[in-house]
């Protein structure tokens, strides 16, 4: 008996309506980047991952699809600079894999408000750090533009930056949004995770360490013109700029509670 193709496992629910891809495209492609020293980083209570393994994560995806249809996921690309080179902020979980801040969205909530709630869960300050945020506006998330859209056609780890042919009901759609970081932003990471600042040259063509999604970030970000601002607020450099400063490298900004059973470091699929 012939097996049923994975894409034939169709949900009875129609795909949820999302924002069109160009809904957040910018009028201007010049982005100002502020130095790491302009920001405050701290830690807060641990947030254990819901899925202890990839198998468990895919099983939960199947349950979500059966109840709600395609799952929506949004992740944030937060960029600052160190020695006039762009760095992407990302999380390292259990010293095992890297991922961008964000998560899957509740099926009954609008995309952008739900995405901002997810970012607050991961990165909003608590305790004494929250008092350093002078206004509510300074803690809002300035979503600038849509960088990419990835699809998971089956209940597997593979995702693609396009909708594969003959796939009418993808199981998950992941969007990457560029978010502008204003100077003075306060970020707090769960203490069982690390918040890293990873330079673009470290990500580029490095799928073995960071996976296909994260290693593609330099390609996505190359469309922008970057202005590098110093601590006094003056534009001191811009892309393409000069050679990379030898002091540039990945920096651990906060977090990093040691976890038992650490796995090989890898990027999230």
Domains in the chain (CATH in brackets) are: 29-241 (3.90.79.10)
For the ranges 1-10, 172-181, 220-229, the lowest mean pLDDT is seen at 1-10
- pLDDT tens, position by position, 110-159: 999 999 999 999 999 987 666 665 554 445 899 999 999 999 999 999 99
Cα–Cα distance, 214 to 204 (Å, whole number): 8
Instruction: Band the pLDDT of 23: cuts 50, 70, 90.
Output: confident
CB 41 within 8 A of CB 195: yes
Contact partners, residue 113, CB within 8 Å, separation at least 6? none
Average pLDDT, the chain: 85
Confidence (pTM):
0.83
- Tell me what the mean pLDDT of segment 18-25 comes to: 74
H or E element that contains 79: strand 71-82
Tell me the pLDDT band of 172, cut-offs 50, 70 and 90. Answer: very high
**Of 15, 7, 94, nearest in space to 48 by CA:** 94
Give the contacts of 135 (CB within 8 A, at least 6 positions apart): none
Q: CA Rg, the chain, in Å?
A: 19
Res. 264: pLDDT tops 50: no
Query: Can you tell me whether residue 24 is helix, strand or coil?
Result: helix
pLDDT at residue 238, rounded to an integer: 82
Helices (H) and strands (E) in the chain, counts: 5, 14
- pLDDT exceeds cutoff 90 at 200: yes
Nearest CA to 142 out of 175, 180, 115, 110 is that of 180
Under a CB-based contact definition with an 8 Å cutoff, are residues 63 and 258 in contact?
no
Query: Where residue 27 falls among pLDDT bands split at 50, 70, 90?
Result: low
User: In this model, does residue 28 exceed pLDDT 70?
Assistant: no
């Amino acid at each position: 008996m012939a097996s049923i193709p994975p894409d034939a496992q169709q949900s009875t629910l129609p795909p949820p309506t999302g924002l069109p891809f160009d809904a957040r495209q910018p009028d201007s492609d010049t982005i100002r980047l502020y130095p790491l020293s302009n920001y405050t980083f701290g830690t807060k209570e641990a947030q254990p991952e819901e899925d202890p393994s990839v198998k468990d994560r895919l099983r939960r995806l199947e349950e979500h699809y059966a109840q709600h249809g395609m799952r929506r996921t949004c992740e944030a690309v937060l960029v600052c600079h160190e020695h006039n080179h762009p760095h992407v902020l990302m999380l390292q979980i259990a010293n095992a894999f890297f991922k961008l801040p964000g998560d899957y969205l509740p099926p009954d909530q609008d995309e952008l408000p739900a995405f901002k709630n997810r970012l607050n869960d991961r990165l909003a300050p608590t305790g004494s750090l929250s008092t350093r945020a002078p206004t509510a506006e300074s803690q809002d998330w300035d979503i600038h533009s849509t960088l990419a859209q990835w699809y998971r056609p089956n209940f597997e780890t593979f995702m693609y930056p396009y909708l594969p042919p003959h796939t009418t009901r993808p199981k998950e759609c992941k969007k990457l949004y560029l978010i502008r970081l204003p100077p003075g932003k306060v970020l707090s990471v769960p203490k069982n995770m690390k918040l890293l600042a990873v330079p673009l040259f470290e990500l580029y063509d490095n799928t073995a360490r960071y996976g296909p999604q994260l290693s593609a970030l330099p390609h996505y970000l190359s469309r922008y013109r970057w202005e590098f601002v110093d601590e006094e607020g003056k534009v001191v450099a811009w892309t393409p700029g000069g050679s990379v400063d030898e002091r540039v490298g990945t920096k651990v900004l906060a977090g990093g509670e040691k976890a038992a059973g650490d796995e090989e470091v890898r990027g999230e699929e």
